[in-house]
Amino acid sequence: MVRGQRSVAVVGAAQTPFGTRPESAPRLLRDCVREVLSSVDKGIAPADLGAGYLATLGFGGWQLGDAAALLAEEAGRPSMPTVRVENACASGGSAIRQAYHAIRSGEVDVALVVGVEKMTDLTSRRRRFWLGVSGDTEWERLAGLTFAGVYALMARRYAMDHGPLEPALAAVAVKNHANGARNPHAHFQKVITAEDHDSSPLVADPLRLYDCSPVSDGAAGVILARRELAARFTDTPVYLVASGGGSDHLALQDRESLTSLRATREAAQEAFRASPFLPKDVQFAEVHDCFTIAELLALEDLGLAPRGGAGQKELAGDTSLGGSLPVNPSGGLKAKGHPLGATGVSQVVEIFQQLRQAAGPRQVPGAERALAHNVGGSGATAVVHLFSR
């Protein structure tokens, strides 16, 4: 596996609980850094860290300060070069991608990546404002379109192309809530039924309350190292074997399709071209399910389901923990929560635990290869990472 020999190792990973948290953003950052440093089996010293990457949208205005410097302080190495990475909801995945390339280039041997967001201490009106900055502000927001409305348009078009959609959306919600109930760090640790989904209030037709991810607080962090150094830190590293990125038009009106995200397709193609395995070799995936329709689109754009066939895979149970391709064993954004800057990093935390056989009651049996998929805004940007044991 020649390409795999150039891969980067994940040697530590941890996250805070997601949900409505009393802590400030700096406190969430501090707690997460401590957890991720202590997660390294053989220990790690501040001097080992070559660079830090802080992923955050700066929800509510926190980005107006020099937030990245706090990462160096909390890591115990104030002189460490740090940078803040902001790429809407894909900030976390993008920060990991930046660290990955820094290590691959030889510039850095070990990197710390932390994503953090504090979202629940704003009014609903202010939350809508800050969520809206990730989408098109010239046309969509001025017309009153919310993110739920954006994804509802995608869902309605998908139903026109492929038939009734609500049963599949319910299956996604039920499955991800079942997984979240097994995750002690999830925002929602509550099992729901299809009847619960179908009777929940409409938010933007056809999306209901249980089709929408929550507003969450939380932080997640990982430590990446050059492959040759991994044994210094752990005997059970997880390898980040490839990374891909892609973008598309910001506004829906300018895109070629409402039911396929070009950014995801481009990111997946780049990652698979650079990896030693194919989509059929992926054994489980953490995908960006900010709304249930987003999980269906992701499976198809990633090549994990045929076009128009993702709903059938959900209804058949293929994507549940006992299925042929478990999707979002963490509970996904839908149940684990969606603190914007932390989301893409927390996907990698889940994969790290799964591939080390340390995921407890939500463990995917025998998992050796995994995919993480992180989307920004309504699909204008995307990052895909591939992992192996």
Contact 207, 148 (CB under 8 A): yes
Between CA 71 and CA 301 the distance in angstroms is: 34
Between CA 335 and CA 208 the distance in angstroms is: 14
Q: Which has the closest alpha carbon to 213: 320, 116, 93, 332?
A: 332
Between CA 368 and CA 359 the distance in angstroms is: 13
Beta partners for residue 382, in sequence order: 246, 375
**Distant-in-sequence, close-in-space partners of 372: CB < 8 Å, separation ≥ 6:** 93, 285, 286, 287, 344, 347, 348, 351, 384, 385, 387
Between CA 185 and CA 189 the distance in angstroms is: 9
Q: Can 32 be counted among the known catalytic residues? A: no
CA angle 76, 61, 137 (to 5 degrees): 135
Q: Which of 89, 288, 373, 385 is catalytic?
A: 89
Helices 25-38, 67-74: inter-axial angle, 10-degree rounding? 40
Q: Which of 162, 177, 187, 338 is catalytic?
A: 338
- Concatenated DSSP letters of 233-296: H-SS-EEEEEEEEEE--SSGGGSS-SS--HHHHHHHHHHHHTSSS-GGG--EEE---SBHHHHH
Task: Report the 10 Å Cβ neighbour count for 372.
Answer: 27
Q: Can 338 be counted among the known catalytic residues? A: yes
Three-class SS of residue 197?
helix
Known catalytic residues are 89, 338
